[in-house]
Structure 1
Amino acid sequence: MKKTLRYLLFLLVIAFVAYNSVYFKKLDEVKAGTDLFNGRKFAANFWSQKLTPALATAPDAALLFDLLKTDPEQAFSKYGKSMSIGNIKYFLVNGRGIVQSVEENQVIVDVNTKAGSKRVLLATEYIFGNAVRDASGQIDINDFGNSSDLNAISAELNQIIRDKVLPSFLAKVKKGDEITFSGALELNQKYPDLAKIEIIPIRLSIDDSSETKPE
């Protein structure tokens, strides 16, 4: 009798554990849990649908450089963008200038401003950071559940520049060329280094040649 009772209790324990170990979910919930963020697809869509249209309203580089010198507070409040609180701000610009030198990691360009010639660096080798992602102000941090997705967007946008914007430009550009550019730059609002402005290029063209941009 005792042996039978122990056996029944054993079966009850097994049944209880089995019941609590098996549960069902809706199929769409399972699929949602396995979906991965596609940074490459998002970046491609963002580039064509958000970033490119934003360039149409970006300030002229010469105007921005003059404003940063005469009224930096207005320049940052009017044109600076950021997804988070802090001193780092990002700017979109359109500009025109004369190539002074083509170097291993950058192209040095002089931009004519009201205050005089302003030298800027167009990055051509070290394309990284969040400037291109954040400068348009078109991405809301609250739309993303984790920082890895945001980092993936930056990485993919920067890769587009390496693969599709720079190669044809670098194959042709030389000292003395007049170029037109659009790009993104990063500045510290509290300690802006206006002596060394580096621009991550988004669009590049030489004289009347075709723009070097993604298809």
Structure 2
Amino acid sequence: MSPDLKHRSASVKWLVGVVALAALVVAAALDTKVLSPQQVAALNPPAFNAESYAADRFPKVTALIKEKAVDLAVLAAAVGSDQAAAGEKYGQDLGSGNFAFPVKATGTVEEVADGFLLLAVPDVPKDAVVRVAVGPAVSGTPVRDATGTIKFGDFTDQTDYQSVANQFKLQIQKTVLAGLDTSSLKGKQVTVHGAWSTGGPPKSFLIQPVAVEVAP
């Protein structure tokens, strides 16, 4: 092959390569989807914020607990008779035979000590202990669990799920207990709406409050 033909052949190959590369670039460009800022945000959601979630949901949870609350005298009798049946009728199944209940109790404050109100509630068995958590260490997760509207499957992992319960406790501190003068409550009648879960000592009712009303 003459040098001239070799040169032409190389030029043709180079041109074919350029055309093929250009075709690939055009195809890639046509196949590329330009996303709007909203679509980009949807693909990259912000990290879960338990504080804002709890602040938004706590009023709704409070309203539901008040709406569904079972009188403690009724609940105590039902749980004492058949805890599983009481849980199915009034509560939310937590697994392992335990349940969370929305509850209402009206009684007289017998004692205020160690972050709890000790209540005497009519028609609740005399050997039962009824306490309302009013101190800085509100423990447990019954408020999160008692309505059945907040499920583990709603969250990415256990950390977020537990964080919601912790933030609900802070909401209780801010919105329920901050304005409550517990030192003046002994001997007074109070009505408490809140949540209680089984799993503690028998005949012990530790209520996590979402509302506390003090009779005049």
TM-score interval, normalised by the smaller of the two chains? 0.7 to 0.9
1:160 aligned residue: 171
CA distance in 2, matches of 1:202, 1:116: 25
Q: Is the 8 A contact 1:102 1:173 kept in 2?
A: no
Does residue 1:120 correspond to 2:134, yes or no? no
Written as runs of structure 1 = structure 2, the 5 A alignment for 1:55-134 is 55-82=66-93, 85-113=95-123, 115-116=125-126, 118-125=128-135, 126-134=137-145
- Residue of 204, 207, 210 corresponding to 1:199: 207
How many equivalent pairs are there?
Answer: 183
Does residue 1:181 correspond to 2:187, yes or no? no
Question: 1:95 corresponds to which letter in structure 2?
Answer: A
Question: 1:149 corresponds to which letter in structure 2?
Answer: D
Q: Please give the root-mean-square deviation of Cα atoms over the aligned residues, in Å.
A: 2.5
Unaligned runs of 5+ in 1: 1-22, 209-215
Q: Is the 8 A contact 2:65 2:146 kept in 1?
A: no
CA distance in 1, matches of 2:79, 2:92: 14
State TM-score, norm by structure 1: 0.74
CA distance in 2, matches of 1:142, 1:25: 33
Q: Aligned in 2, Cα 1:94/1:25: closer, same or farther, shift over 3 Å?
A: farther
Give a deviation string over 1:87-116, Cα, whole Å, max 9, x none.
332111011001001113211111111645
State TM-score, norm by structure 2: 0.74
1:9 aligned residue: none
CA distance in 1, matches of 2:34, 2:184: 59
Q: Is the 8 A contact 1:111 1:119 kept in 2?
A: no
Q: Is the 8 A contact 1:89 1:186 kept in 2?
A: yes
Q: Is the 8 A contact 2:128 2:205 kept in 1?
A: no
Percent identity (aligned): 24
Unaligned runs of 5+ in 2: 1-31
CA radius of gyration, larger in: 2
Q: Is the 8 A contact 2:191 2:214 kept in 1?
A: yes
Q: Aligned in 2, Cα 1:115/1:123: closer, same or farther, shift over 3 Å?
A: closer
CA distance in 2, matches of 1:101, 1:50: 28
Question: 2:207 corresponds to which letter in structure 1?
Answer: I
